[in-house]
Amino acid sequence: MDFRTVIEPFRIRSVESVKFTTREDRVAALRAAGFNVFRLHAEDVLIDLLTDSGTGAMSAQQWAAMMQSDESYAGSRSFYRFERVVRDLTGFTHVIPTHQGRAAERILFHTTLHPGQIVPNNNHFDTTRANIEVEEAEALDLVIPEGRVPRALHPFKGNIDLERLDHLLSDHGDRVPLVMVTVTNNSGGGQPVSLENLHGVRDLCDKYEKPFFLDACRFAENAWFIKVREDGQGGRTPKEIAQEMFSLADGCTMSAKKDGLANIGGFLALNDNAWAESARNLLILTEGFPTYGGLAGYDLEAIAQGLEEVVEEPYLRYRIRSTEYLGEKLTAAGVPIIQPPGGHAIYLDARELLPQVPPTQYPGIALANELYLEKGIRGVEIGTVMFGMRPDGREQPGPMDLVRLAIPRRVYAQSHIDYVAEAVIQVAGGRDRLRGYRITSAPRVLRHFTAMFEAL
């Protein structure tokens, strides 16, 4: 009989205590935070699933590499190691380190975009969208129709709609400076993109002579899904699959805080010499010299080592299985989630769970806040607060109202996940009591980070 238990592929020799609080403590903390979990003190959170970005545990090998870093301002050995690892993985000519993913986005878009242009993607993440809109260009989401329906089952729900992309490029190609695909599709539920789809994008980009960029934050998780779900890919290593994914593109933006297994960092990598030169000029202005780009030498070491560890099969098997495990428990209890479970997170469908709370009263905020108040778990709204504000200042319902429970890499054990499942199921059981919120103050851009709310 097959042995079914998938264990954490590591043992732990350094631990961090978590703080237990009472419900009264949490009510006070959330009130002080303006009912926005982003504003909580992290130590008031028991299990923190706000993000998988920069929250992972590093390996002994990463810490060892950091101790041996070269902190030279220019030409540091750590940069060359980082560059070698990124080139080996991606094949791109120019490797430009940045302090995190959005810095790579800002540099790419400030270098390449003009007002009125359009950048298609399966789904733009919030920082990607904001960095496009700040250039007065349009961020267009073209995920396949299944990718917009939480319960629809599809092995590659992150795929971009090739037909719509073809129409866009044929009708408005002159306004499209580049095509982007996000792997995995974070805003669409951490869903993967197939190799077949990436080949399709490459073909269209060749047809219309457009550069193709990956938002590669979770490239390794995407490669694992390709390995286990796509015909003919089972015998390949995740690294080989990732290399093929990158080989189809002309460049990528990367947040190393995800599949770089590092706590900070990112990069822009690309083949175009002229774009790379402009990008480096801007980098020097805002991030730093091109061999450190806003990072310490030890960060570059951590990322280089992380990029090698993240494609290891035992790690990816455990990683994807832990997320799926949480998804299975919630599904068995009838909690609506985006199906199938994504790579790095489970997305609770707050709009379906709380039909009494209309999107403009933020069901995602209501659910996220209740999870914190009841059991000390912090998730994040991905819905009308995050995506409902148009550039012209009007608000409309976001495409979905979700609460994302993102699982930090190599941090929580199975009992933590069991606790989360029990908590979500309990909160879902009391759903009828939950009411919406209204915003009392918010900035114009990326309002979800700092907005303040009041319960209705």
Ligand X SMILES: Cc1ncc(COP(=O)(O)O)c(C=O)c1O
Q: CA torsion angle for 404, 407, 408, 409 (degrees, to 10)?
A: -140
Ranked by CB distance to ligand X, the top (closest) residue is 101
**Residue 52 or 370 with smaller CB distance to ligand X:** 52
Residue in 256, 330, 351 with CA at minimum distance from that of residue 299 = 256
What six digits make up the tokens of 134?
A: 């700040």
Closest contact distance (angstroms) between CB of 99 and ligand X is: 8
The Cα 166–Cα 48 span in angstroms is 41
Closest contact distance (angstroms) between CB of 268 and ligand X is: 12
Closest contact distance (angstroms) between CB of 101 and ligand X is: 3
**Residue 49 or 217 with smaller CB distance to ligand X:** 217
Strand partners, 1: none
**Residue 217 or 220 with smaller CB distance to ligand X:** 217
Closest contact distance (angstroms) between CB of 63 and ligand X is: 21
**Residue 267 or 372 with smaller CB distance to ligand X:** 267
Closest contact distance (angstroms) between CB of 253 and ligand X is: 7
Closest contact distance (angstroms) between CB of 255 and ligand X is: 3
Q: Are 52 and 207 in contact (CB under 8 A)?
A: no
**Residue at 312: amino acid letter:** E
**Residue 211 or 294 with smaller CB distance to ligand X:** 294
Residue in 95, 159, 96 with CA at minimum distance from that of residue 122 = 159
What six digits make up the tokens of 1?
A: 């009989």
Closest contact distance (angstroms) between CB of 93 and ligand X is: 22
Closest contact distance (angstroms) between CB of 265 and ligand X is: 8
Q: What are phi and psi of 285, to 5 degrees?
A: -65, -40
The Cα 42–Cα 31 span in angstroms is 15
**Residue 39 or 77 with smaller CB distance to ligand X:** 39
The Cα 59–Cα 13 span in angstroms is 10
Strand partners, 48: 378
Strand pairing class (118-121; 138-141)? parallel
**Residue 102 or 329 with smaller CB distance to ligand X:** 102
E strand or H helix at 47: strand 47-48
40 phi-psi bin (left φ>0, alpha ψ -120 to 50, beta other) = beta
What six digits make up the tokens of 205?
A: 């980009």
The Cα 316–Cα 224 span in angstroms is 7
Strand pairing class (251-255; 212-215)? parallel
**Residue 276 or 406 with smaller CB distance to ligand X:** 406
Q: Is 75 helix (H, G, I), strand (E, B) or coil?
A: coil
Closest contact distance (angstroms) between CB of 97 and ligand X is: 12
Contacting residues toward ligand X, per CB under 6 A: 53, 100-102, 125, 127-128, 182, 186, 215, 217, 255, 257, 266
Peptide bond into 184 cis (omega under 30): yes
Strand pairing class (377-378; 345-349)? unpaired
Closest contact distance (angstroms) between CB of 138 and ligand X is: 18
**Residue 255 or 291 with smaller CB distance to ligand X:** 255
**Residue 217 or 311 with smaller CB distance to ligand X:** 217
